[in-house]
Amino acid sequence: MARMKFICDAERCIECNGCVTACKNEHEVPWGVNRRRVVTLNDGVPGEKSISVACMHCSDAPCMAVCPVNCFYKTDEGVVLHDKDVCIGCGYCSYACPFGAPQFPAQGTFGVRGKMDKCTFCAGGPEANGSQAEFEKYGRNRLAEGKLPACAEMCSTKALLAGDGDVVADIFRNRVLKRDKGAEVWGWGTAYGSSKPGQAPAKQGGKS
């Protein structure tokens, strides 16, 4: 299997926030924490574009690089996860992340800046798969249930694609060929090192 990846198709996203709602409901994410959110560029202007943003589970994740307590790890499927028992809530990952993925709950051990919370690609965390402890700390482990992330599965227009990088890139490529436009994938280059899905990483200094 290739790595797990997200693609958000800006040509299809209608800013319904279904992905945000699905995520919050599936994982019972507390008030004030948004693992996923929809961002609209040029809001109100004809031709505005919306994209759904969360942790992209980067190939070379900057959050992992800057964490002073080394609480991050990457699964064999390429999902970037972290151990909340190790996290000290310092916020370095928040500054390093180009997608604004790390969230800091305002309640809990560290008061105004709690232990970091972020999208897990619905893969839970370092507790027993499907256990109550895993659900309470990280949310539901849908991958271990043989399912894909709830946000993508609930997306009404299928703008948000999630799954094996080869599969989602193939679906997106087919779309672009059929409609003959909208080949740009926001964040793909930043997260996975290539300007187009399924192609080799861009050279250093290239456009995202």
Partner 1 sequence: MSKTLLSVALLASLGLSACMEKPQISGTKSDAAPFTGTGNAPTAFVNGGWKAGDKTSWEQALRARAQDGQNDYAKSN
Whole-number Å distance between alpha carbons of 159 and 116: 27
Whole-number Å distance between alpha carbons of 204 and 193: 9
Residue 168 contacts partner 1 per CB under 8 A: yes
Residue 14 contacts partner 1 per CB under 8 A: no
Residue 75 contacts partner 1 per CB under 8 A: yes
User: 76 or 180, CB closer to partner 1?
Assistant: 76
Residue 70 contacts partner 1 per CB under 8 A: yes
Please give the C-alpha separations between residue 41 and each of 44, 47, 48, 49, 52, in angstroms, as whole numbers. Answer: 9, 9, 6, 5, 11
User: E-assigned strands of the chain?
Assistant: 4-8, 37-41, 49-53, 72-74, 80-82, 160-164
Question: Which residue in the block uniquely carries the two structure tokens 């500054």?
Answer: 95
Could you give the residue ranges of the DSSP H alpha helices within 80-192? 92-96, 132-138, 150-154, 165-179, 188-192
Residue 152 contacts partner 1 per CB under 8 A: yes
User: 35 or 175, CB closer to partner 1?
Assistant: 175
Residue 1 contacts partner 1 per CB under 8 A: yes
Number of residues engaging partner 1 in binding (CB under 8 A) = 43
Residue 109 contacts partner 1 per CB under 8 A: no
Residues that bind partner 1 (CB under 8 A): 1, 70-73, 75-77, 81-83, 85-86, 123-131, 140-141, 143-148, 152-153, 158, 161-164, 167-168, 171, 174-175, 178
